[in-house]
Amino acid sequence: MVHPSTKNIPSRSSSDTGFVRRLTLTVVSIFVILMAVIGIAWFVMHPHDPSFSVTSLSVSNFTVTDSQITCKYEVRLTVTNPNKKIQLILDDFNVVILYSDVVLSMAEVEPPILLARMSNKSVNVDLVMKNSVKLVQENLVKEWNKEMVNFYVKMVVGVRFEAGIWPSKEKILCVYCEDLDVEFYSPKDTGKLLGIEKNCHIVDAKP
């Protein structure tokens, strides 16, 4: 009796291997196409970063002693979402007060801020300063005695862009608000921002 040759019959293991390869290729292709579609969608929507401005900066209880300077700050910010189709969520929102590049105080804004499309929101931040750096004391007190002190505000903000069913995008923004002249009145323990609101600028943005 002659048995049929099994030489050209593919084995089960080789068939399974071919199926796995085709399945893997299909999954990878779908993933690449999906990522391309999402990328094109975000490119078309062209999300804009939020804008920031300092509308008010007040200093109270400004006290100078031999060992340190103490005072309280109240910063009022306006954050604007310029996007027509995208809402923003601001999280990990940190605010720092500086004098001559020296950090005087910092605080975190909580809870996260939701900005609807084409909207703005006011944010109040309270900070307390206790500084004992001698050089900072000397220079700051000199300006304070002249009834005008120049401060800076720095912000590091995590921003999430959301648009309907599309996966969100995230960025970390570094924002500077410079030349914030605070004028002190008699008694000189209280000062307020001189002039109108100051626009801030984004100096770095990381995905």
Residue 68 in this model has a pLDDT that exceeds 70: yes
Q: Give the pLDDT of residue 49.
A: 94
The mean pLDDT of 105-133, rounded to a whole number, is 89
Residue 206 in this model has a pLDDT that exceeds 90: no
The pLDDT tens digits for 174-204 are 999 999 999 998 777 899 999 888 999 998 8
DSSP 3-state assignment of 138? Answer: helix
The mean pLDDT of 69-93, rounded to a whole number, is 93
Q: Give the distance between the most distant pair of CA atoms in the chain.
A: 119
Compute how many other C-beta atoms are within 10 angstroms of the C-beta atom of residue 184.
19
Distance CA 187, CA 205 (A): 42
The pLDDT tens digits for 123-153 are 999 998 876 566 577 788 888 888 899 999 9
Average pLDDT, the chain: 84
Q: 67 pLDDT band (50/70/90 cuts)?
A: low
pTM of the model: 0.79
Q: 110 — alpha (psi -120 to 50), left (phi > 0) or beta?
A: beta
Q: Which residue has the higher pLDDT, 177 or 45?
A: 177
The mean pLDDT of 30-50, rounded to a whole number, is 72
DSSP 3-state assignment of 17? Answer: helix
The residue among 73, 92, 86, 72 whose CA lies nearest residue 180 is 73
Distance CA 168, CA 59 (A): 38
Q: Which residue has the higher pLDDT, 154 or 130?
A: 154
